[in-house]
Structure 1
Amino acid sequence: ALGNNTVEVLDLRKGERIRSITGLGAPQGIVYIPELDRLFVANDKAGIFKIYDGKSFQQISELNFEDDADNVRYEDTMRRIYVGFGSGGIAIVNAQDGKQIGSIKLSAHPEAFELEKNGQRIFVNIPNSRHVAVIDREKGEVVTTWKTDLAFGNFPMALDEANHRLFVGCRLPSKLIVLNTESGDVVAKIDISGDPDDLFYDSKRHRIYAICGAGKIDIVEQTDPNMYTALTKVNTADGARTGLFVSERDTLFVAVPHRGSQQAEIRTYRVE
């Protein structure tokens, strides 16, 4: 809960909040690792990366990335956590001991990024540089960059690794850009609602869900790797642009912010 400086812990079976972790500074990225029972939270303010025990929710340790610790991703094979931060970097953290073991330099602040599971690349949205950076994890450096065909403000991202397709949500104008990860070419552009901030790929149904701050969930169908059709738009609430798709539950969770008479809440949408 970025605006509340907390992490809210929810019981999905009961549909209720069971804990509020306080004392954070505009928390943004978060990852929970079950086998370690550890919770990792990246904070915008001062770039503090906090590590908590998953049972007691007590803080164990923290790392200081100095500014704007943002998106967080976990790579389970090597048990490494990747944290986007500052004016251009991704930190590499050993999940087992919480120590930083490396850093990858970027041209500007990273937004959403995706890790290949069957390869060594990381795809990173760099909106201020108007490109997607491609990192080789073994080399620890950017090996190429891809343009998004005159669509800028590239913040959210999702990956269809099996079909070699990268989905990038752009805000200027609002477009879903589809890139071929073998060539870097743009293979499709689809109009979507304003202010996209989260993207999810549903491999079971071959769909992309774009959660947009304009108060919509845009659903796009993947007919084949090069063909996409806008299916429908689901109404949510003004500013509701953060979410989580849990494929095992066939459920999309969307966070609604408090605005005027609109109460802060988590909404659940069943995917069929």
Structure 2
Amino acid sequence: MKKIAWTLIVAGLLSASAWSAEPGASAYKLAQQHVLGGGGGWDYVTLDAPTHRLFIARDDRVMVVDANSGRLVQEIPGMKHVHGVALVSELHRAYASNGHGNDISVIDLDTLKVLSHIPVSGKDPDAIIYEPATRYVLAMNGDSNNVSTIDPVKNRELATIALDGNPEFATSDGQGNVYVNIEDKGELAHIDIKAGKVLHTWPLAPCEGPTGLALDSANKRLFSVCANGWMIVTDATDGHQVAKIAVGKEPDAATYDSQTHTVFSSSREGVLNVIHQDSADKYTKLADVPTMKSARTMALDTAADKIYLVGAKVAQKGKPVRGFTLLVVAGH
């Protein structure tokens, strides 16, 4: 990466009362810190909401943590520079992308054991998501500029979809439309997964290095966060830019809470930006919540109104990771 779950809500017209015309001061604050420890870098954080478990990609393993207590439940070994985990609840399976293995580890969600590996033809599978309309698992291949479509029932790669640059995080509207940030081009691609082709590629200027991506399904708004400190809001119907908001530099995740109309961006600078969606095209910065330097990835729990981030006290390039920590930011 350089995962987050979106919530599909009923589409329709929003009444004026659905929006907070005058959002108050943010009530989000750093509420808890749980030192997990262990060596190695990390990437995406994925929440399995029904079981309250967090899956944290930690290079050669996946850490499984109880989100309520911050307790390490188990570590799943055998990964090869793992980037992220996609959950397929109906199959009781998780799919972990191995960047250095060019394959996907299949994990049993009941036993937390690796069942098998699915080779992909792309190089460096990074961000990984589940697309419910097609029931495919999608891996963004960072070094081959394409997307692998994987059938989790047949346990194999079906095809690849070519992109014009390096794919970063992706999100789905649940109807077969998938959107993916193109990191090296500063673009956003719209893919029809059922047809297996790119429909549009939209510019994100002044964005440089788009990474995290979130979707407001009801209002068809996409939120791309960028290395140079911008959040770009894009209309998912035609690709036109509707807003840009300053955020922390070097973010790696964005997420959207459809219940509170709040957008979040987490950055390596150690700040969680909290932004209120006043309307589909208007946004107000509520707060910059201090977290921890390097805490650039996160997962949102809408039911608990909590954001889970991970970072380390020592995380400089070339130095061993020390003090790896789960941080919990709580809302109202």
TM-score normalised over the length of structure 1: 0.93
Q: Between 247-256 and 260-269, report the one with greater CA deviation.
A: 260-269
- Tell me if 1:89 matches 2:146: yes
Quote the Cα distance in structure 2 between the aligned partners of 1:262 and 1:235.
20
Query: Residue 178 of structure 1 is aligned with which of 221, 233, 238?
Result: 233
Letter in 1 for 2:214: A
Quick check: 2:119–2:156 contact (8 Å CA) kept in 1? Answer: no
Structure 1 unaligned segments of length 5 or more: list them: none
Specify the alignment match of 2:131 in structure 1: 75
Distance 1:70 1:4 in 2: 12
CA distance in 2, matches of 1:180, 1:76: 22
Per-residue Cα deviation, 1:185-221 (whole angstroms, up to 9, x for no partner): 1111111111111000011111101011100000111
Q: State which of 43, 55, 58 in structure 1 corresponds to 2:110.
A: 55
Deviation at 1:57, TM superposition (A): 2.6
Q: Which of 225, 246, 262 is 1:169 aligned to?
A: 225
Q: Hey, what does 1:124 align to over in structure 2? A: 180
Find the residue that maps to 1:167 and give its secondary structure. strand
SS in 2 for 1:169: strand
How far apart are 1:253 and its partner, in Å?
0.4
Secondary structure in 1 matching 2:126: coil
Distance 1:245 1:174 in 2: 21
> Is residue 137 from structure 1 mapped to residue 197 from structure 2 by the alignment?
no
Corresponding residue for 2:28?
A: none
What displacement does 1:121 show? Answer: 1.6
1:11 correspondence with 2:66: yes
8 Å CA contact retained: 1:32, 1:40: yes
What amino acid is the match of 2:220?
Answer: H
C-alpha deviations, 1:230-249, integer Å up to 9, x for none? 11111011101011001122
Structure 2 match to 1:27: 82
- Identity over aligned pairs, percent: 25
2:205: which partner in 1? 149
Q: Note the C-alpha offset of 1:50.
A: 0.8
Cα 1:159–1:69 shift into 2, 3 Å: same
Residues 95-145 of structure 1: CA deviation (Å, up to 9, x unaligned) = 22322122211112210111112x332111011122111111222111111
Residues 149 and 186 of structure 1 are in contact (CA less than 8 Å); yes or no, is this contact kept in structure 2? no
1:215 alignment partner, one of 260, 270, 281: 270
The residue type paired with residue 158 of structure 1 is A
1:242 correspondence with 2:297: yes
SS in 1 for 2:111: coil
- 2:253 maps to which of 198, 217, 229: 198
Name the amino acid aligned to 2:188: V
Conservation of the 8 A alpha-carbon contact between 2:59 and 2:83: no
Residues in 1 aligned to 2:89 and 2:197: alpha-carbon distance in whole angstroms: 29
Q: CA RMSD in A?
A: 1.7
Deviates more, 1:125-134 or 1:54-63: 54-63
> Matches of 1:46 and 1:215 in 2, distance apart?
31
Structure 1 match to 2:96: 41
Q: Is 1:271 paired with 2:331? A: yes
> What does residue 188 of structure 1 align with?
243
* Cα 1:75–1:188 shift into 2, 3 Å: same
Partner of 1:35, secondary structure, is: helix
Counterpart of 1:178 in 2: which secondary structure?
Answer: strand
Q: How many residues align?
A: 270
What is the distance in 2 between the residues matched to 1:67 and 1:108?
13
Q: Structure 1 residues 78 and 3, CA, compared in 2 at 3 Å: closer, same or farther? A: closer
Higher relative contact order (Cα pairs below 8 Å, separated by 6+ residues): 2
In 1, Cα distance between equivalents of 2:159 and 2:80:
24
Deviation at 1:79, TM superposition (A): 2.1
Verify: 1:102 aligned to 2:159, yes or no.
yes
Read off the aligned partner of 2:331 and give its amino acid letter: V
